[in-house]
Amino acid sequence: MKNEAPRSCLRIAKNLLPLLLAVIFSISNAYAQRAPIDVNLIIDGSSSFSGVKEEVASWINNRLGQILVDGDRVTVWSAGSSARVIYTGRVEASTRDAVNRSIRDIEPSGNNPDFSSALREAAGRQSSGFSYTLLISASPQALSSVINNPQGNLLRFSRVEDFSSWRALVVGLNLDSRVRRATSAYFD
């Protein structure tokens, strides 16, 4: 009789284990699928970028491999003496290399990257409910000019990752109005 209860529990566990695994995998797949997002890459196009171009391109390729899914919209800016879009498109298996190629093809020039114009334009282009903006700066003094401009408030909600000769900033574009609305809703 003593051995009967453990055997019964073992049989139940053997029968429930495949069901439990199926539920776990179906839940994880449901969370893995998400709506397309806007991804903005703003790359320092100044002469300071030339020494770190390959390192940055490799890092971005790895980072985007973790973030992008098919259907996301990607826009890449070269922030040289003036900011300009160098790539825009939807992510598909056939277009993933085009983003990396556009970064490797940047011809650095000038001393002051125009991050302000790129940030302003990226903030105005947001078409989905969520955007991911990554700003790459290889110029030590470049960010101070952005902070002192009206676009400085766009850097308020940023996360900075420092590397030996460059920085990556994840910028929370258009978050200030969302934070105000959430705060107001919370206190009302």
- List, as one string, the DSSP characters of 53-98: HHHHHHHHHHHHHHH--TT-EEEEEEESSSEEEEEEEE--TTTHHH
Against a cut of 0.75, is the pTM above it?
Answer: no
Q: Which two tokens stand for residue 163?
A: 């590397």
pLDDT computed for residue 132 by the predictor? 87
pLDDT computed for residue 9 by the predictor? 58
| pLDDT tens-digit profile, the chain (188 residues) | 555 666 665 566 556 556 555 666 555 444 557 788 899 999 999 999 999 999 999 999 898 888 888 899 999 999 998 999 999 999 887 777 888 899 999 999 888 898 888 988 988 887 666 788 999 999 877 766 666 666 666 666 678 888 999 989 888 776 666 666 777 777 77
CB 160 within 8 A of CB 169: yes
- E strand segments, the chain: 38-44, 73-79, 83-90, 131-137, 158-162, 167-171
